[in-house]
């Protein structure tokens, strides 16, 4: 039997504390890898993706493997780092990939139709609401490196769970 204050008891306490700390570190490492490289949620609200997403807010499930594997295609909804404010995440739809010619209307520049060629290594993204979206029509083709993930489904509101809005 060990007496309190004896070296063996202190060693057991330190060993137990280190084991607990190791579990906490492992948990946060797994959480970091999962949310940055596999799957995460993004809360988005605003008018740029109306009517696909509602203005009050949606919680979207986003996977991060497709952009790294080059598995995105025209029509996919994606999360991107804003080229205008790197702290913001945008949800937009891919309308053109590298090498494509995109035809678009920009209400801010009149009703004329414009065309743009998307350079290799870039994508053309737009919000579904052309009257209320800041997108490639304003900042041009987006470098592929700013793509963060592909929207898998809506997690909230619960009535729209699973819907991708295509």
Catalytic (active-site) positions: 48, 92
- Of 43, 59, 46, whose CA–CA distance to 133 is shortest? 46
Residue that the structure tokens 């740029």 belong to: 48
Do 81 and 87 meet the contact criterion of CB atoms below 8 Å apart? no
**Which residues are within 8 A (CB) of 75 and not within 5 positions of it... i.e. 6 or more apart?**
93, 94, 166
- Among 66, 100, 93, 95, smallest CA distance to 78 is for 93
Residue 34 DSSP code: I
Region of 112 (left: φ > 0; alpha: ψ -120 to 50; beta: rest) is: beta
């Amino acid at each position: 039997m060990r007496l309190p204050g004896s070296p063996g008891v202190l060693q057991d306490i330190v060993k137990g504390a280190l084991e607990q700390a190791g579990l906490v570190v492992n948990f946060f490492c797994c959480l970091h890898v999962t949310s940055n490289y596999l799957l995460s949620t993004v809360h988005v609200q605003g008018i740029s993706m109306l009517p696909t997403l509602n203005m009050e807010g949606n919680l979207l499930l986003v996977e991060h493997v497709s952009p790294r594997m080059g598995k995105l295609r025209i029509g996919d909804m994606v999360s991107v780092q804003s080229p205008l404010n790197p702290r913001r995440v945008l949800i937009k739809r891919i309308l053109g990939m590298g090498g494509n010619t995109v035809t678009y209307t920009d209400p801010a520049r009149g009703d004329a139709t414009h065309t743009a060629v998307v350079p290799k290594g870039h994508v053309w993204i737009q919000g579904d609401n052309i009257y209320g979206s800041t997108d490639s029509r304003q900042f041009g083709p987006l470098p592929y490196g700013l793509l963060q993930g592909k929207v898998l489904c809506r997690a909230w509101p619960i009535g729209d769970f699973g819907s991708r809005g295509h």
